Every structure is written in C-alpha cells, then in structure tokens.
C-alpha cells in the first residue's frame, strides 16, 4: 500500500497559515497517518484548523493544535505603548518562482509570509533560494515607501567585484606560489579580523559617522576592518576569465584572461546597523510571531530615514573594502585591470515598478535590469558567470546571487569527509588557502542548473573558472590544508 504524501501547497490551499504549523502538520500526518486515505487526512486537518482547542489534549494531534493556539495568542492585541498591531493580508501578492523544483519548502514559506505584508507590492524568488531570517535568501520584494532591515539582511551591501587583467592565464600555473602569496597578503579573513594599520579611503569621512551615535562608536573599528573580508562563504580568488564572443556592454575582446574575484560585505558596520534598526522596526510594528522579522520602517519617519542613510553608507563601505583589496592586487601585478565588474546584493534600491515608486529589496539576489552587468559565482570548484540583465519584470529585474546552499553548514561538516573534499579539489585543480568542509562544493546546488532556471533573466557574457581560492581558515572548520602557503593564508 502506497504511503500518503502531503505538500505545503495543499495545506495552504485549505487555509493553513505560513509558519511552523505547516511543517509540524506534515510531519505528524506522514508519521502517524501515512497509510490513511488522503481525503480523510485532509478533512481531519480542516477540523484541527477550525477548532484547535478541541485537539490540544490529543496524544498525536496536540502538536498541530498547539501551533494554532500559539499563533492565536501571538495575534492578541499588544499592550499599550508596544507599537501598532499589524495583521497580514489573507491572500498576499502574487510572486514568481524560478527553479521551484530545487527550492526548499522553508524558503517558500518565508516568501509567502513576505507576500502578505500590507506594504508589499511585487516579489520574486530566485533559483538559488534557501531559508534566512525575515526574507529568504534569494528573495526579492518591492514595497511601498518602506524598508525592511531583515529584508536587506545582516551583511548589508555584500558584494561581488571582479578585476580582469590582460595576463596569460598560464601564469596561474607557472607562478602559482606568487599568486597564492598575493592572495594571502591582500586581505584578512574572519568575523573579527582587523588590520593594525587602517587603509585610507574617503568613505570613512562620511558625515554620518559623526552624526549618528551608533555609527560614531563603530567608526574606529570599521576603519580597521576596511579592506578585510568576512567568514562563511566570503572569498578572494584568482581564476581564468573566458569571453567567447565580444559583448558591447562588457567590452572585452574574445579570449582568455586572468580574473581576480572577491566576495564580501560591510563587516561589523552592516551587522550592527541591521540588528539595531530591526529591533526598532519590531518595536514599532507588531506583526504575528512567525513574521516579526519582516517588520518595516516607513521612509516618512525618522528611524526609516536613518536606516536608509546608514544602509547606503554600509553599501559604500562594502564597495570601498573591495576597491582597497583590488588596488593592492593591481599594484603587485603591475597592471591596471582592463575591466572591473561589480554588484551589490543584500540591499534595497529605489526603483520604478509599473510606473510606481517602490523600494526593491534583494536579499541574496543580483540586480538584473536591462544591460546591467553582474557576477554570479558557483563554488570553489564550479565556474562563475559574468552576466548581463534582460530587465525581466517577472523577476522584478533580478537574478540569483550564486548557486545557493543545498546543505546547512553543520550538515556539510557532518556528511563530507576530508578525503572527499581533498579529492574534489584535486579533480578540478584548485589550490585552496583556508576554507573548510562547511564551504565544500558538495554543500552547494549545481550552478549550471541554477543558470538554466534563469535563462529568461540574464545573458551570459563571460565565464570565470576558479584556480587559487582563499577563504576564512577558522579553526572550527574541521578540514585543514597542509603546507607553507596554506598555513600562511590562515
């Protein structure tokens, strides 16, 4: 006898709200009612939805009932002075999903929540999407005159930056130790990394650092982090750029070149801004518990204007970090880059949507307006792509920001062996400085499948094949490379 199967879509269709209750209901039913007729199971789920209190003492169904009871309690009117109570729209705006068959249910749930916000205007979910805080990573949301700090994310202005040098890629093999050393000296990695001597850049003279108390107390710390890189999936790497056909927007002749690619964000500055203003947003707008991290700030109020200005400063700072790193590399190579391509993600932009002014949040999504250049990386062994946006309204002028994770960090560490990792690096000829099992290629989706899912959103105008990769070498990551260059890179 075949087992009964449920989907989140089916539960939403009978009125189940977004949030933990869907996952709980699916788990309970598929464990305890797997051999029951699906029609009977659906009728039972409808009864629990209609009267959860009647099932709160049931040995099995209480797990579902209690989620509904908690949800009802979270929607109770707030105490006086704790901010306005905000209800979600029942149906929510329509949004398009690209590569839906490869997107986890949790990310879909979060996007459905965001679609029900009363300020939401348009949205889309990218093919590399997975769960995050507030808006899912890979989520795009346009709102009316409002900004959601956790719709932008903690690492504000996280950025890709690519320098293309007219140097024979064969040098990456012949002079590997030189390029590896330059990677090790160009930047520092890690969540607390700071330079003893700060770099100079005009972004540190921005008046907001001296006007906002939050930024004033951070000024010294973030100055010493200028030109550093983060932990996790942040990287700096040399690789081979291949342009098969000259594109007028990219402006690079057909051929192969050396590319230097970096991925990092706004470090402590962005994290402090995000957390500070998220707390304010939550205190001002009391959403149901399952959606509280989607609290927004209006751009008509002081706190909203403050966040907007601070967010843009964090974006400028993230850009400055990359430019400091790339300037060091260009100096050591003795060449100016023939082309630089760069783009933010984890940011919000003022744009037009169907003739209306909106704020477009792209959390882990690449801007892909008409003829806008961007970079979509793969993994430490998989090619990345230089892309040109098609300006597709169905995706709110957006594309994915990478391959997207298919394993959590803890799962990757638990399921990938050191030997598998080393063998994979050897197979693709990758020299890795730092890095760990949590960032192994096995933890990521197939970038080629992701790109296939967004052919309508971007044109590929160049390809980047990584060869020498530097990432954080934190000791909690179980795998360690051996040898002089690798240790120096830590």
Band (pLDDT 50/70/90 cuts) for residue 73 is: low
At residue 74, the pLDDT reads: 58
Q: What is the pLDDT of residue 96?
A: 97
The per-residue pLDDT for 1 is: 53
| 88 within some domain | no
Quickly state the pLDDT bin for 78 (edges 50, 70, 90).
Answer: very low
Distance from the Cα of residue 318 to its chain's centroid: 15
The domain of 257 spans 159-266+303-340+367-488
Q: Residue 194 maps to which CATH number?
A: 3.90.1860.10
Which range (207-211, 427-431, 479-483) has the least confidence? 479-483
Question: How far apart (Å, rounded) are the C-alpha atoms in residues 302 and 341?
Answer: 35
Confidence bin at 479 (pLDDT 50/70/90): very low
Q: Report the chain's mean pLDDT, rounded to a whole number.
A: 90
Whether residues 334 and 444 share a domain: the answer is yes
pLDDT mean over 265-281: 95
Q: Of 19, 46, 74, which residue constitutes the final position of a domain?
A: 74
Output the pTM of the full model: 0.81
pLDDT, position 344: 92
Instruction: Indicate whether 347 belongs to any domain.
Output: no
Instruction: Please say which residue of 45, 74, 103 terminates a domain.
Output: 74
Q: Which range is least confidently modeled, 2-16, 103-117, 369-383, 392-406?
A: 2-16
pLDDT tens, residue by residue, 205-222: 999 999 999 999 999 999
Stretch 293-305: mean pLDDT = 96
Domain's final residue, options 44, 74, 104: 74
**Listed ranges 4-8, 298-302, 407-411; the one with the highest mean pLDDT:** 298-302
Per-residue pLDDT for 392 more than 80? yes
Residue-level pLDDT at 402: 95
Beta bridge partners of 373: 388
70 and 200 assigned to the same domain: no
Give yes or no: residues 60 and 167 share one domain. Answer: no
pLDDT band for position 486 (50/70/90)?
Answer: very low
* pLDDT category of residue 225 using cuts at 50, 70 and 90: very high
Query: 67 and 205: one domain?
Result: no
pLDDT higher for 176 or 412? 176
pLDDT number for residue 82? 57
What confidence category does residue 408 fall into, taking pLDDT thresholds of 50, 70 and 90? confident
Query: Does a structural domain hold residue 118?
Result: no
Q: Where does the pLDDT of residue 8 fall: very low under 50, low under 70, confident under 90, or very high at 90 and above?
A: confident
């Amino acid at each position: 006898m075949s087992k009964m199967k449920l989907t989140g879509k089916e539960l939403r269709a009978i009125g189940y709200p977004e949030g933990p209750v869907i996952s709980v209901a699916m788990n309970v039913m598929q464990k305890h009612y797997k051999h029951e007729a699906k029609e009977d199971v659906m009728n039972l789920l409808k009864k629990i939805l209609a009267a959860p209190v009647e099932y709160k003492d049931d040995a099995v169904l209480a797990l579902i009932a209690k989620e509904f009871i908690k949800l009802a309690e979270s929607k109770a009117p707030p105490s006086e002075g704790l901010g306005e109570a905000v209800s979600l729209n029942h149906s929510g705006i329509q949004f398009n999903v690209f590569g839906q068959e490869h997107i986890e249910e949790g990310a879909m749930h979060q996007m459905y929540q965001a679609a029900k916000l009363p300020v939401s205007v348009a949205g889309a979910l990218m093919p590399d999407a997975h769960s995050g805080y507030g808006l899912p990573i890979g989520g795009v949301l346009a709102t009316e005159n409002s900004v959601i700090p956790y719709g932008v994310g903690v690492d504000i202005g996280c950025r890709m930056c690519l320098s293309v040098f007219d140097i024979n890629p064969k040098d990456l093999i012949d002079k590997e130790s030189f390029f590896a050393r330059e990677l090790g000296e160009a930047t520092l990695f890690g969540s607390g990394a700071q330079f003893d001597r700060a770099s100079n850049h005009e972004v540190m003279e921005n008046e907001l650092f001296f006007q906002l108390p939050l930024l004033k107390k951070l000024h010294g710390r973030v100055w010493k982090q200028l030109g550093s890189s983060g932990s996790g999936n942040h990287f700096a790497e040399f690789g081979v750029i291949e342009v098969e056909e000259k594109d007028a927007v990219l402006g690079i002749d057909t051929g192969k070149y050396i590319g230097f690619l970096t991925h990092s964000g706004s470090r402590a500055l962005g994290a402090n801004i995000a957390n500070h203003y998220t707390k304010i947003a939550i205190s001002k707008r009391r959403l149901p518990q399952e959606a509280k991290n989607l609290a927004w700030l209006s751009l008509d109020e002081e706190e909203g204007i403050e966040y907007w200005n601070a967010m843009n400063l964090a974006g400028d700072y993230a850009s400055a970090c990359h430019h400091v790193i790339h300037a060091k590399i260009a100096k050591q190579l003795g060449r100016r880059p023939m082309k630089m391509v760069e783009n933010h993600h984890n940011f919000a932009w003022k744009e037009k949507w169907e003739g209306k002014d909106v704020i477009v949040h792209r959390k882990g999504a690449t801007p892909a307006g008409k003829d806008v250049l961007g970079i979509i990386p793969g993994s430490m062994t998989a090619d990345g792509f230089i892309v040109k946006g098609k300006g597709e309204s169905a995706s709110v002028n957006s594309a994915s920001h990478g391959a997207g994770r298919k394993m959590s960090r803890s799962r990757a560490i638990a399921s990938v062996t050191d030997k598998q990792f080393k063998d994979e690096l050897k197979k693709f000829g990758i020299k890795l400085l730092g890095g760990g099992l949590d960032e192994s290629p096995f933890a990521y989706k197939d970038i080629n499948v992701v790109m296939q899912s967004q052919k309508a959103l971007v044109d590929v105008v160049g390809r980047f094949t990584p060869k020498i990769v530097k990432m954080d070498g934190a000791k909690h990551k179980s795998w360690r490379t051996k040898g002089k260059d690798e240790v120096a890179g830590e």
